[in-house]
C-alpha cells in the first residue's frame, strides 16, 4: 500500500512540473521586440521636400525684329546691278530688283525716248513685285541709273509704295555723266520721314573697278556692319 502511494505521489509531482515548464515557454515567446518598429521607421527615407525646377517657356522668349538691310535697285544695262552686288557683299543685306510689269526695250534709243516721256508725264510704272516684309528693314539702299538727270520713274513707284518713317535710306547711282543729277531731291521727297545718308556715285564704265571705293564709302557711313 505504501509503495502504491509513493508511486502516485511521484507521478503527481512529475505532471505538475511538466505543466509549469510549458507555461513559462509560452509566456517568453509572446512578447514582441521593442526595437523592431523603431528600427523600421529609421531606415525609411524621408519624403523629398525639394520642388522640381521650372522649365522656362520657350514661347515667351523675346524675338528680335527689324534691324535688317535691304539693297533695292533698278538696273537697265546691268551696271547698277553690279554695284548693288558689291554693296551686298560688304553689308550682307538682302537684294531686291525693282522691275516693271512691262519690261523696257533692249534698244537704247527706245529706252531713252520712253524714259523722257515718262518723266514729262510724271508716270508711275507698275512694278512686277513688292517687298512683302518692308517693316523688317531699318536700312534701305536705293540704287538707280541717272536717267535724264533724275531717278527712273519706276524708282519713284517703289519709294511711294512704303512708309519710310524711322528708316535710313542710302542712295547709290551709276551714270554716263552728271552724277546724281536731281535724284537725291526726288528720293528725299518720295521717302518722306526717312533719314538720308551720303550716297555713292560711279560712272558706268568704271563700275567693275569700284569695289575698293564702295568699301571705303560704306566704312564712312558708320553702319556697324
* Domains identified in the chain and CATH numbers: 68-221 (3.40.50.360)
Res 224: pLDDT: 59
Inform me whether the pLDDT recorded for 143 exceeds 60: yes
DSSP H helices in the chain:
2-29, 36-42, 79-91, 108-120, 153-159, 183-190, 211-221
CA separation for the pair 15, 37 (Å, rounded):
40
For the segment 123-150, the average pLDDT, to the nearest whole number, is 97
Q: What is the pTM of this model?
A: 0.70
**DSSP state for residue 50 in the 8-state scheme:** P
Grid cell 524708282 is found at: 155
Residue-level pLDDT at 26: 41
Q: pLDDT averaged over the chain?
A: 79
**For residue 84, which of 170, 163, 180 has the smallest C-alpha distance?**
170
- pLDDT tops 50 at residue 58: no
Amino acid at each position: 500500500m505504501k509503495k502504491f502511494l509513493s508511486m502516485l505521489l511521484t507521478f503527481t509531482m512529475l505532471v505538475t512540473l511538466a505543466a509549469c515548464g510549458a507555461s513559462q515557454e509560452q509566456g517568453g515567446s509572446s512578447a514582441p521586440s521593442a526595437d523592431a518598429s523603431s528600427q523600421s521607421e529609421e531606415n525609411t527615407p524621408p519624403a523629398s521636400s525639394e520642388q522640381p525646377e521650372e522649365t522656362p517657356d520657350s514661347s515667351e522668349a523675346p524675338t528680335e525684329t527689324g534691324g535688317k538691310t535691304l539693297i533695292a535697285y533698278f538696273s537697265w544695262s546691268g551696271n547698277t546691278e553690279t554695284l548693288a552686288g558689291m554693296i551686298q557683299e560688304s553689308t550682307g543685306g538682302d537684294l531686291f530688283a525693282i522691275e516693271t510689269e512691262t519690261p523696257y526695250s533692249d534698244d537704247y534709243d527706245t529706252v531713252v525716248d520712253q524714259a523722257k516721256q515718262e518723266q514729262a508725264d510724271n508716270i508711275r510704272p507698275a512694278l512686277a513685285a513688292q517687298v512683302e516684309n518692308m517693316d523688317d528693314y531699318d536700312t534701305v539702299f536705293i540704287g538707280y541709273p541717272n536717267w535724264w538727270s533724275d531717278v527712273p520713274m519706276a524708282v519713284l513707284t517703289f519709294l511711294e509704295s512704303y512708309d519710310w518713317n524711322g528708316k535710313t535710306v542710302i542712295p547709290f547711282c551709276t551714270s554716263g555723266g552728271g552724277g546724281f543729277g536731281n535724284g537725291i531731291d526726288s528720293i528725299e521727297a518720295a521717302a518722306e520721314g526717312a533719314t538720308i545718308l551720303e550716297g555713292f556715285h560711279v560712272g558706268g564704265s568704271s563700275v567693275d573697278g569700284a569695289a575698293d571705293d564702295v568699301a571705303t564709302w560704306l566704312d564712312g557711313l558708320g553702319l556697324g556692319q
